[in-house]
Structure 1
Amino acid sequence: MTNSGFIMLLRGIVDWEWYTDLNACKVFFHCLIKVNYSDKKWQGIVVRKGEFITSYERLAVETGLTVSKVRTALSKLELTSALAIETTTSYTKISIPNLNDFVAEVNYGNIDNQSSTQNSIRFDNRLANESQSFNNQIATTNNKNNNIINRKKIFREQVFSFSNFNIKTLESFFNYWSELNSDKTKMRFEKEQFFEIETRLNKWKENERTTISRYNQKTELQTNRKLA
C-alpha cells in the first residue's frame, strides 16, 4: 500500500451497524486504508488483497487509541464478520472479507483534474448501479448481525472490560441488564433511552452497598431481640 492516492467509500456506509461507535468505526476505517489492494509479499508471506500485517500495539499507536480499546473494537468487528483476524506469535493479520461492500474506488496516484473527473464519473456510475444491491446487503447483514446471541456477547464483553469492579458485581449487573423480553428480541438495557455502562455500574455498586448495610443492620436488630 502506498501513502498517495485515495479510496472512495459508498454512501450507504452510514447505515452500517458500527458507524456510530466511534472506536469501532475509527479502527475499521483505518483498516480500510491499511489493507493491500493487490497481492504482495511480506517476509515470505503472501498478503493478499484486503489483508495487511500489523499488531495490536501498532494499531494503538496509529489510531491514537489504547491497546485495550483497539482489542475491544476489533472484537466487535470480528464478531460481526466485518473483519477476520489471524494472530500468531510473530504478527497479526487482519483482512476485510467484504471489502467491495465498502470501497467503491481506489486510486494510487496523485489527483489531477483529469483523473479526478474520470474517477468521479466512474464513481457516480458505479454508485447508481450498486446502491440498491448495497442497501439490500446492508439490510441482510444487519439482520444477521443483530442476532441476539452476538449482541449479548458484545454487551458481556463491554461490561467485563471494567475490571476495576468486583467480578460478582459485574456478573449480577450483566445478568440483570441482559435479561430478554418476552419475544427474545431485546435485552433489558436496550429498552433504555440512555445507558452508559460505567455510570450504571457505579450506581449498581452503591445499591449493593446499601442492601448489604441494611441486611447487616436488620441482622443485628434480630440478634439483639434474641438476646433480650
Structure 2
Amino acid sequence: MVNRGFIMLRRELVDWEWYTDLNTCKVFLHCLVKVNYSSKKWQGVVIEKGEFITSYEKLATETGLTISKVRTALSKLELTKTIAVETTTIYTKIAILSLNDFVAEVDSASNDKPNSTRFDKRLTNDSHTIDNQLATTNTNNNIITNRKKIFREKVFALTKFNIKILESFFNYWSELNTEKTKMRFETEQFFEIEKRLNKWKANERITINRYKLDAELQTNRKSA
C-alpha cells in the first residue's frame, strides 16, 4: 500500500467511546491510515475497501506499543464491533466496520484528480502561512510546547501506573530550565520512561512508609 494521500476525519470522533483510551485510539487511528480505500489483491487474496493485511508484531512496531497492548486494543475494538479481525496462519486481516462513520473524505493522491491538486495547493499555501507565523514568534517556545506534549502522551500511555504517580512524575521531569529550552528529563544521558516510573513508584512507597513511621514515632513519644 502506498503511503500517500490523505484522509479527513469526522469531528464526531472526539465523542467516540474509545477516544480517551490512548492505546485503543492510537491503534484505531493507525488502522484508519493503513486500510485500503479501494479493492486490491495481495498474494491472491482480495483486500476490500476498509481492510488491510498486517500482523500483531507489525502493528506493535508501527505504533510503538507492545504486542500485548495491541492485542488488548484490537480486542476492545472488536468487542464493540468497530473492527473485524480475521487471523490465519499466514496473516491477520483487519476490517474497519462502518468506515464512513469515521472518515469524511479520502484522496488517493493521484495526479489525475483535480480535488487532490486543489487540496495540495491549499496545503502548500497554508504551510507557507504557518511558516511565516512561526518566524515572527518565539521558536523555542513552540518547539518546547510540542516536546512537552509528546512527553506527556508517552508518560500517560503507561496506564498500569496510578494516575497520581503519572502526574507527579510528569510535573517533576517536565520542569523547564532557566532558558526554557529544555525539560529536566532532557538533561539526562539515559532516560527510559517506564524504568524511571518503576523507580519513582518505589521511591514514593518508601516516602509514604517513612511518613507513617515518623507519625507513629511522634504519637508514641507524646503518649509516653
User: Normalization by structure 2: what TM-score?
Assistant: 0.50
- Per-residue deviation at 1:117? 7.8
Q: Does 1:97 align with 2:97?
A: yes
CA offsets, 1:27-47, max 9 Å, x none?
Answer: 000000000000000000000
What RMSD over aligned residues (CA atoms) do the two structures have, in Å? 2.6
- How many Å apart are 1:52 and its aligned residue? 0.4
In structure 1, the residue matched to 2:72 is: 72
Aligned positions of 1:80-95 closer than 5 A? 80-95=80-95
The gaps in structure 1 that reach 5 residues or longer are 120-160, 162-198, 200-228
Show the counterpart of 2:49. Answer: 49
Distance in 2 between residues matched to 1:46 and 1:113, nearest whole Å: 30
Supply the distance in 2 between the matched residues of 1:5 and 1:64 (Cα, whole angstroms): 23
Query: Once the 2 structures are TM-superposed, how far is the Cα of residue 3 of structure 1 from its aligned partner?
Result: 1.1
Alignment partner, residue 19 of structure 1: 19
Q: Secondary structure at the match of 2:93?
A: strand
Shift of 1:4: 1.4
Match of 2:119 in 1: 115
Shift of 1:115: 3.1
Moved over 4 A (4+): 110-113, 116-119
Aligned equivalents of 2:122, 2:106: Cα separation in 1:
12
Question: Which 5+ residue runs of structure 2 have no aligned equivalent?
Answer: 124-159, 161-200, 202-224
The superposition leaves residues 194-223 of structure 1 with CA deviations (integer Å, 9 ceiling, x where unpaired) of xxxxx9xxxxxxxxxxxxxxxxxxxxxxxx
Counterpart AA for 1:115: F
- Which whole-Å CA distance do the structure 1 matches of 2:6 and 2:85 have between them? 24
Aligned partner of 1:99: which letter?
L
- CA shift for structure 1 position 118: 8.8
Rounded Cα–Cα distance in structure 1 between residues aligned with 2:121 and 2:11: 19
SS in 1 for 2:81: coil
Q: Is 1:40 the counterpart of 2:44 in the alignment?
A: no
Map of 2:59 onto structure 1: 59
Conserved 8 A contact 2:9-2:104? yes
Distance 1:20 1:45 in 2: 35
- Return the alpha-carbon distance in structure 2 between the equivalents of residues 108 and 69 of structure 1: 30
The DSSP-based 3-state class of the residue aligned with 2:19 is coil
Matches within 5 A, 1:1-228: 1-109=1-109, 114-115=118-119
Contact kept? 2:59, 2:70, Cα under 8 Å = yes
Q: Alignment partner of 1:85: what SS?
A: strand
AA at the equivalent of 1:39: S
CA contact 2:107–2:116 (8 Å) conserved in 1: no
Question: What residue identity is the alignment partner of 1:29?
Answer: L
Identity within the alignment, %: 69
| Whole-angstrom CA distance in 1 between matches of 2:47 and 2:118 | 32
Query: Size of the alignment, in residue pairs?
Result: 122
Q: Tell me, yes or no, if the aligned pair for 2:50 and 2:95 is still in contact at 8 Å.
A: yes
